[in-house]
């Protein structure tokens, strides 16, 4: 619900459990007054106090009032160069070379439904589910107008934000920064949580107090990156899973980003989040507009767990565009670790037969099926079937796979090219490399200039026959290197600062074409695993390969960190062979299955190499996942322990929204002699209900399970697992 007090210029956004407010003051500066648990409203600008602060200058219209300074006021969207020395939300170079952006309020309006962003991902909602507040600011000298858009998804407790900049002046303006989010707090007792790591070990939580000065994370790799995720949390310093005030901020963008927090000299805290200003410069001609990516906010007064579940519900209902919505996703097997590049039709069919007999429903042919792609040094860009490996093309293979009762999927990497390819030999200028420079290679490949429509058109037309193959139902869309030497032959020198962003828009454009023409295809995103696991990609690919690291023990940490924002249904997770390819660790098939089953479930191994007992385990795993798919994928997710604490076990639960059904998963750590007895306290149950555990006769009251816990059996051996299925009676 949005409340407009036009007379006093107070604008209040209410979700079911939170309130957000801003006010344009007497000098038309848009102040941020409150964001937190839901309150009645009223003008909360009374919380803002004024004092004469040395070296904090005063705007001209303040006259002799030295207590009024932009440098200390909490602002809704900070300008630059006009007396606020904290982080700026917008930076621009005007026609005369000056870089002052002084934004003042000019109006506001409420619209039914949730706004949409042309060419960019955004949460969606019907007119009955959301409202939009549009607030207009303008620089009176340059006539640069900033439109702040707020989408209020009341039932999900989520507020989406976007920014559109319009040049109403007569001269071009060069935008150096346009943040999607600026959020001010008037107190400093907060921790910053970021989600960091590296390839094959992504999204590990890092928590530290907000210190004086600036701290933050970002990416200039051309993708949101394995190293830092475009999701951060600000929370009270004593906040935990079930208590404390927490704010989550998510950027729906798949390219260079920056999220910074500044604690000011007077202990205010400002969060600014958006496209990374490094390498960014956008020329805005008179009459033109620029739209920044969407950001989304969730506030939870009751801890990090509640914050996560609010994000999960909103993402599932209002961001994912899943072609299988309302239907169960198939259990898949991916050919990569079983075959790599060394396969032919007969080997693939043998792999599929073994999998089909064990309950697997979707066979995915990974890298190596196209061009002269017999290793990772050639062939990318040549999207025709290698008929030496697959005689007659894809169709005969797909027919044989489907005859086994399985669906068929395929791997592609459309954004990349090898120098040893027909495409590169014919169009070397289509790669992102400045003329005269030697290229930097990653995985022996270069990056195609997806900022150019003709490049995207060529790739799409090359892929169209493959995507049109009868029986194809799934595509894995990969990206296996970062962007370097980013320069486009199609843009003049003064517009090269637009290439990084235009590249991301080009990726979104091609994905949107695939969705338009092949709406039945389930597209799974990938970037060397989790290097582009963000809200922008989830809008186009409703599940993403969570990490190239399939080791079950490492995945406990990776999936734990990912869960702070992203729901389990978005995390591609497979059971792979042991010893594990990334770590050399050997973990039981039971444990590998329980960990992978808490995501979009599948296998990545030659199932024919298993013995009879192991094959029976796979049958049980696939059957159990199919039976409990809705609970795992659509239930509420509860983190019951922290795997980064190296405790005696890692535990988590999937709980139905009504609390009547739960699946609890436990994986032990390193076992020590004479270990103490443990009881696991559960969450999310109905305290008044009585539960049966794994179908046993004994009944457990819900309040007992949550307050006192469930006794865990003693474990012999490291990384053993157990699964508890609870059903209320």
Annotated catalytic residues are 534, 614
Q: Is 462 helix (H, G, I), strand (E, B) or coil?
A: helix
Q: Is 722 helix (H, G, I), strand (E, B) or coil?
A: strand
Tell me, what DSSP letter sits at residue 374? Answer: S
Q: Which two tokens stand for residue 3?
A: 């409340």
The helix-helix angle for 552-562 and 589-596 (nearest 10°) equals 10
Q: Which two tokens stand for residue 484?
A: 């370097």
Q: 291, 301 in Cβ contact below 8 A?
A: no
Indicate left, alpha or beta for 187 from its phi (over 0: left) and psi (-120 to 50: alpha): beta
Q: 411, 476 in Cβ contact below 8 A?
A: yes
Count the neighbouring beta carbons within 10 Å of the beta carbon of residue 648: 18
Sequence-distant (6+) residues with CB within 8 A of 26 are none
Q: Rg of the Cα trace of the chain? A: 27
Count the neighbouring beta carbons within 10 Å of the beta carbon of residue 616: 12
Q: Which two tokens stand for residue 633?
A: 């994928």
Give the 3-state secondary structure of 495-526: HHHHHHHHHHHHHHHHHHHHHHHCCCCEEEEC
- Give the total residue count for the chain: 729
Count the neighbouring beta carbons within 10 Å of the beta carbon of residue 38: 15
Q: 234, 210 in Cβ contact below 8 A?
A: yes
From the centroid of its chain, how far is CA 393?
35
Whose CA is closest to 158, among 122, 194, 105?
A: 122
Whose CA is closest to 232, among 211, 199, 210, 200?
A: 210
Maximal C-alpha separation, the chain: 87
Tell me, what DSSP letter sits at residue 370? Answer: B
Q: 320, 542 in Cβ contact below 8 A?
A: yes
Q: 381, 448 in Cβ contact below 8 A?
A: yes
Give the 3-state secondary structure of 307-344: HHHHHHHHHHHHCCCCCCCCCCCCCEEECHHHHCCCCC
From the centroid of its chain, how far is CA 565?
7
CA 581/CA 595 separation, integer angstroms: 17
Indicate left, alpha or beta for 371 from its phi (over 0: left) and psi (-120 to 50: alpha): left
Q: Residues of 522-560 as b/e, b for ≥16 C-beta within 10 angstroms?
A: bbbbbbbbbbbbbbbbbbbbbbbbbbbbbbbbbbbbbbb
Q: What backbone phi and psi angles, to 5 degrees, belong to 358?
A: -105, 5
CA 405/CA 352 separation, integer angstroms: 10
CA 549/CA 552 separation, integer angstroms: 8
| CA count, 13 A, side-chain hemisphere, 5 | 15
Indicate left, alpha or beta for 683 from its phi (over 0: left) and psi (-120 to 50: alpha): beta
Sequence-distant (6+) residues with CB within 8 A of 219 are 225, 227, 228, 230, 255, 256, 257, 276
| CA count, 13 A, side-chain hemisphere, 111 | 15
Upstream peptide bond of 53 is cis (omega within 30 degrees of 0): no
Q: 190, 235 in Cβ contact below 8 A?
A: yes
């Amino acid at each position: 619900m949005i409340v407009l007090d036009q007379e006093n210029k107070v604008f209040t956004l209410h979700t079911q459990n939170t309130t957000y407010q801003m006010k344009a003051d007497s000098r038309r500066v848009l102040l941020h007054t409150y964001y937190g648990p839901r309150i009645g409203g009223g003008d909360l600008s009374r919380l803002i106090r004024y004092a004469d602060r040395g070296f904090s200058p005063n705007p001209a219209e303040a006259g002799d009032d030295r207590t009024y300074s932009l440098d200390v006021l909490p602002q809704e969207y900070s300008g630059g160069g006009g007396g606020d020395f904290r982080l700026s939300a917008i930076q621009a170079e005007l026609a005369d070379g000056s870089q002052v952006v002084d934004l003042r309020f000019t109006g506001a309006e409420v619209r039914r439904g949730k706004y949409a962003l042309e060419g960019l991902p955004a949460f969606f909602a019907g007119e009955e589910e959301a409202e939009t507040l549009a607030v207009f600011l303008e620089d009176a000298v340059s006539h640069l107008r900033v439109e702040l858009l707020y989408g209020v998804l009341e039932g999900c407790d989520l507020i989406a934000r976007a920014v559109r900049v319009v040049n109403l002046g007569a001269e071009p303006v060069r935008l150096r920064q346009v943040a999607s989010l600026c959020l001010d707090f008037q107190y400093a007792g907060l921790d910053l949580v970021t989600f960091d790591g590296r390839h094959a070990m992504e999204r590990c939580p890092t928590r530290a107090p907000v210190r004086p000065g600036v701290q933050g994370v970002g990416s200039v790799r051309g993708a949101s990156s394995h190293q830092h995720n475009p999701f951060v949390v600000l929370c009270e310093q004593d906040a935990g899973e079930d208590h404390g005030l927490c704010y989550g901020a998510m950027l729906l963008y798949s390219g260079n980003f920056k999220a910074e927090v500044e604690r000011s000299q007077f202990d205010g805290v400002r969060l600014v989040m958006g496209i990374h200003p490094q390498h960014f410069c956008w020329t805005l001609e008179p009459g033109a507009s620029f739209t920044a990516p969407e950001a989304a906010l969730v506030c939870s007064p009751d801890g990090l767990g509640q914050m996560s579940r609010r994000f999960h519900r909103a993402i599932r209902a209002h961001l994912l565009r899943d072609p299988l919505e309302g239907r169960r996703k198939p259990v898949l097997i991916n050919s990569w670790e079983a075959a790599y590049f060394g396969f032919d039709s007969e080997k693939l069919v043998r792999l599929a037969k073994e999998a089909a007999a064990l309950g697997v429903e979707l066979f995915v042919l990974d890298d190596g099926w196209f061009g002269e792609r017999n290793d990772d040094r050639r062939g990318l860009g040549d999207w025709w079937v290698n008929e030496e490996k697959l005689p007659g093309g894809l169709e005969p293979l797909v027919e044989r796979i489907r005859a086994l009762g399985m669906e068929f999927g395929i791997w592609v990497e459309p954004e990349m090219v090898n120098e040893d390819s027909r495409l590169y030999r014919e169009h070397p200028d289509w790669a992102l490399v400045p003329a005269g420079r030697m290229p930097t290679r990653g995985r022996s490949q270069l990056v195609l200039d997806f900022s150019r429509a003709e490049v995207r058109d060529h790739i799409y037309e090359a892929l169209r026959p493959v995507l049109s193959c009868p029986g194809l139902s799934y595509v894995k869309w990969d990206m296996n290197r970062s962007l370097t030497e980013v320069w486009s032959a199609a843009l003049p020198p003064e517009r090269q600062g637009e290439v990084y962003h235009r590249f991301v828009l080009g990726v979104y454009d091609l994905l949107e074409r695939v969705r338009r023409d092949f709406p039945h295809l389930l597209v799974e995103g990938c970037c060397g695993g989790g290097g582009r696991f963000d809200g922008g990609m989830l809008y186009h690919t409703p599940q993403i390969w969570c990490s190239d690291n399939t080791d079950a023990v490492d995945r406990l940490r990776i999936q734990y960190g990912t869960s702070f924002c992203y729901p389990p249904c978005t995390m591609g997770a497979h059971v792979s062979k042991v010893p594990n390819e990334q770590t050399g660790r050997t973990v039981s098939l039971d444990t590998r299955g329980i960990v992978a089953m808490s995501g979009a479930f599948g296998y990545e191994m030659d199932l024919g190499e298993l013995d009879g007992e192991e094959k029976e385990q796979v049958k049980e795993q696939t059957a159990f996942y199919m039976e409990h798919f809705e609970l795992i994928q659509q239930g509420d997710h509860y983190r019951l322990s922290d795997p980064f604490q190296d405790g005696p076990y890692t535990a988590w639960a999937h709980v139905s929204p009504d609390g009547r059904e739960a699946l609890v998963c436990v994986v032990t750590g390193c076992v020590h002699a004479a270990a103490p007895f443990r009881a696991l306290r559960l969450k999310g149950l109905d305290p008044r209900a009585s539960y049966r555990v794994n179908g046993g006769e004994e009944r457990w009251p819900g309040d007992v399970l949550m307050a006192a816990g469930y006794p865990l059996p003693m474990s012999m051996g490291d990384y053993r697992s157990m699964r508890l299925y609870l059903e209320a009676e």
